[in-house]
Structure formats: structure tokens, C-alpha cells
Amino acid sequence: MKKLALCVALALAAGGAYAKDWSTIRFGTDASYAPFESKATDGKLVGFDIDLGNEICRRLNARCVWVEQDFDGMIPGLKAKKFDGALSALTITPQREQQIAFSAKLFNTPTRLVAKQGSPLQPTIASLQGKTVGVEQGSIQETYAKQNWAPKGINVIPYQNQDQVYLDLQSGRLDAALQDEVQANLGFLKTPRGAGFAFAGAEIPTGAAAIGLRKEDADLKAKIDKTIADMIKDGTYRKIESKYFDFDVYGG
């Protein structure tokens, strides 16, 4: 009996040793993508994703820790356990799903091209041949442009963050920029730095955004998925959404 009891105790202890403690959840984010994530004048991280992440932590009785990360390092940082979730307008794609897991959908917004106001440019190969388009490194827009445009004579330039894209667009080093429609509208076009620029052409559907998670952290994914569902059901998601948008970003 003593041997049996000892074996049971050792098995329980071994199981406990591998149990993960989610009393602290670390989210990685690229703070150059307003209104989803950016820095206030006091240096504090703000935005739609930030509010969603903080509410998820609150409901899970966890302390939220935000880790700043350039977007192209988001998935490598997650896999290296620099943080527990990538919460930074990260679009779900088949390529990314080979490397990481995703939470339930957070929102669904299309991609748009931005160029000088009155520009004849369109998000088509014929219109952009010989032109230079800026994208954020690691983004779904970079993937789209490199797969569809770069082989057809369009110069696609990746930048470390979205702010750098806009700086070169303003300076004239870029003919256009390709990014999330909502981010471009609220984070650039409706700000002083976006004066003289406008959307060029139609939307490009690119998929839903979610929280990137490690595949082995299925328990954290289950907790986060339930919390997102609860937030949508009880109206908290809409309340947070209304702080930033006067339209539905969740989508169908």
C-alpha cells in the first residue's frame, strides 16, 4: 500500500510540475498600428487590441504584461516564449497556422492601398507596374504584395513598422502603401500626417485577425476563446469597440 501511495503521489507531483500557471499573461504587440495598438504621449500602450487584452486578463484573474515587439518578430518571439500571445492585429493565414495556433476571431477588416489624393493608382498589376509600394514586414499585406505584385514588376518595400511606411510615403519615396483599411483610415488618413493622401481603389479581402498562441498552450487557448465568446455575448466587446469605431469591425 505504501508503495502504491508513493507512486500515486509521485505521479500527481509530476503532473503538477508541468501544469502551467496563467496568473500572468504576456502579450506581444507592435505599437505602431493605431487604433489597434499605439503609444500615448505618456508612453502608455493604448488601442483596441490593448483594451481587449486587458479585459481578457481581468476576466481570467491574470496580470497583463505587454511586451513590445516589431511585427516581423511576432511569431518568432511567441515561439521563443518571449510572450504568451501575439495580440497585434495578426491575421489568420494557412502559412501562420502551420507554425502557431490562433484564438477565436477578434475582428475582420480588409486591406486597402493608400496614395496621394487624386492619384490614378489602383491595387492592380497594370496600375502599379514600375511603382514602389511600402508594406510592414511580416504583415499579411507584405505576403500578398510579394506573392501577387512583386513578380509582375512592382517594387515592394518592407519596413520594420507601419510608422516607417508612412514616413516614406509622405516624403515621396513610396508611390503607395498597402495596409489594413481601418488602421490606414484612423491611424493615418484622419490624422494631420495623412493630409493630402487617400484610399486608392477597392478593398482587398485578407481575412480575420486573432490572438496568436503556441500550439502546445491548448489550455490558454480554451480560456481565451471562452472569454472572447463571453465578451461578445454580454456586450462588453461592443462597448470596447465603440470607443474606437462607429461601425462593426467584428464582421460576419
- Tell me the average pLDDT across 224-242: 98
Position 20 scores a pLDDT of 85
- The yes-or-no verdict on residue 200 having pLDDT over 70 is yes
pLDDT in tens, 71-93: 999 999 999 999 999 999 999 99
Position 19 scores a pLDDT of 59
Top CATH class, 22-108+207-244: alpha beta
Domain ranges of the chain: 22-108+207-244, 111-199
| This prediction's pTM | 0.83
pLDDT in tens, 4-59: 444 444 444 443 334 589 999 999 999 999 999 999 999 999 999 999 999 999 99
- Tell me the average pLDDT across 237-243: 97
Name the average pLDDT for the chain. Answer: 92
Cell of 75: 511569431
CATH fold match for the domains 22-108+207-244 and 111-199: yes
Cell of 156: 515592394
For the chain, percent of residues with pLDDT exceeding 90? 90
Q: How many Å separate Cα 231 from the centre of its chain?
A: 19
Q: How many Å separate Cα 185 from the centre of its chain?
A: 16
Binned at pLDDT 50, 70 and 90, residue 252 comes out as low
Cell of 55: 479585459
Position 205 scores a pLDDT of 87
Topology given in CATH for the domain delimited by 111-199: D-Maltodextrin-Binding Protein; domain 2 (3.40.190)
16 CB-contact burial (10 Å; exposed 0-12 / middle 13-18 / buried 19+): exposed
- The yes-or-no verdict on residue 214 having pLDDT over 80 is yes
- Tell me the average pLDDT across 142-149: 96
Position 8 scores a pLDDT of 41
Position 158 scores a pLDDT of 98
Q: What share of the chain is helix, strand, coil (3-state, %, to 5)?
A: 40, 25, 35
Position 245 scores a pLDDT of 96
